[in-house]
């Protein structure tokens, strides 16, 4: 299985790491750390050195209750970093729901559009369909960031998420987008209860049955804090554990803050799946 993107066909035979690059002052975990272009580009370089296969650059926080960011502000945050990141030799994703940002990012060489709204904003679907080969990640979100946790999704989340992502994919396919360009994200933490979030992990195979690769984004999420009692800056171990469980259950991409630690954990997992191919394998015990 491959994920077709603008410049790269990403082989998903092994799980891929998407490193998070937040160029925002208010993201829930690392907001304000990489607001300057220089700091953000240095972070991109560091994540690639640590093992990131993909970089995901975002200029607007989607944490619960976060206010929308004006278009000109988001463009000013994202584009200077993107122009440098595309030189690093890995696929670059832009995390945005605004069609204007998508269009500008693709013009600057971005490979993937990662949209929490699953291209439901007017004109967004057409931007992706109009591009000859960019990848797209469609995410399920109940409600909107400002209010989604006040009235979360009711009932069994898994069939609702599955039906939604299938519907959005059909709309893209109808516009001529090849299914090899589409990846799904169940939207952990986006308008769902803690129990629903964990049901999406436990029953991830039900999403995979549709045939689309799944991206799992558990890194430092509040559900991990709820079950462990740990604050956001102490959720490294739960985040790595969730990433490993997602991969074990078939996720092909994991979106993470802590690339180096997750990469190390995945090497251990990979050694159990392909024991003859891990570094240091041989006849000596």
Over range 65-81, report the average pLDDT: 91
pLDDT 10s digits, 230-285: 999 999 999 999 999 999 999 999 999 999 999 999 999 999 886 655 555 443 33
Residue whose pair of structure tokens reads 């436990």 in the numeric block: 202
CA distance 247 to 235: 18
Give me the count of residues in the chain.
Answer: 285
Q: Which of left, alpha, beta for 191 (phi over 0: left; psi -120 to 50: alpha)?
A: left
The residues that are catalytic are 221, 255
CA distance 149 to 222: 11
Nearest to 181, CA basis, from 130, 236, 144: 130
Cβ neighbours for 22, distance < 8 A, ≥ 6 positions apart: 29, 30, 31, 33, 34, 58, 61
Band of the pLDDT at 30, cuts 50, 70, 90?
Answer: very low
Nearest-10 crossing angle of helices 71-85, 99-107: 20
Max Cα–Cα distance, the chain, nearest Å: 60
Over range 215-229, report the average pLDDT: 96
Band of the pLDDT at 66, cuts 50, 70, 90?
Answer: confident
Q: What's the pLDDT at 31?
A: 46
- For the chain, list the domains and their CATH numbers: 2-259 (3.20.20.20)
User: Does residue 134 surpass a pLDDT of 70?
Assistant: yes
CA distance 16 to 172: 24
Percent of the chain with pLDDT over 90: 83
Listed range (12-21, 28-37, 213-222) with the worst mean pLDDT = 28-37
Q: What's the pLDDT at 28?
A: 46
pLDDT 10s digits, 90-114: 999 999 999 999 999 999 999 999 9
């Amino acid at each position: 299985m491959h994920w077709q993107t603008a410049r790269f066909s990403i082989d998903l035979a092994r799980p891929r790491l998407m490193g998070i690059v937040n160029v925002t002052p208010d993201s829930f975990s690392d907001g304000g750390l990489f607001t300057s272009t220089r700091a953000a580009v240095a972070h991109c370089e560091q994540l690639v050195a640590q093992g990131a296969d993909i970089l995901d650059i975002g200029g607007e926080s989607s944490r619960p209750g976060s206010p929308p960011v004006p278009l000109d502000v988001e463009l000013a945050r994202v584009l200077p970093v993107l122009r440098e990141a595309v030189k690093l030799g890995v696929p670059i994703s832009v995390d945005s729901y605004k069609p204007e940002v998508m269009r500008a990012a693709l013009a600057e060489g971005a490979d993937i559009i990662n949209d929490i709204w699953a291209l439901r904003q007017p004109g967004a679907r057409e931007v992706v369909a109009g591009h000859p080969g960019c990848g797209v990640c469609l995410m399920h979100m109940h409600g909107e960031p400002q209010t989604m946790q006040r009235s979360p999704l009711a009932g069994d989340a898994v069939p609702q998420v599955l039906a939604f992502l299938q519907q959005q994919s059909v709309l893209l396919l109808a516009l001529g987008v090849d299914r090899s360009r589409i990846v799904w994200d169940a939207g952990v933490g986006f308008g769902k209860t803690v129990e629903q979030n964990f049901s999406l992990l436990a029953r991830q195979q039900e999403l995979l049955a549709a045939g689309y690769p799944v991206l799992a984004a558990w890194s430092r999420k509040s559900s991990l804090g709820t079950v462990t009692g740990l604050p956001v800056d102490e959720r490294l171990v739960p985040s790595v554990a969730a990433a490993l469980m997602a991969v074990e259950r078939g996720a092909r991409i994991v979106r993470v803050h802590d690339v180096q630690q997750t990469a190390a954990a995945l090497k251990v997992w990979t050694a159990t799946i392909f024991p003859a191919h891990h570094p240091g394998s041989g006849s000596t015990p």
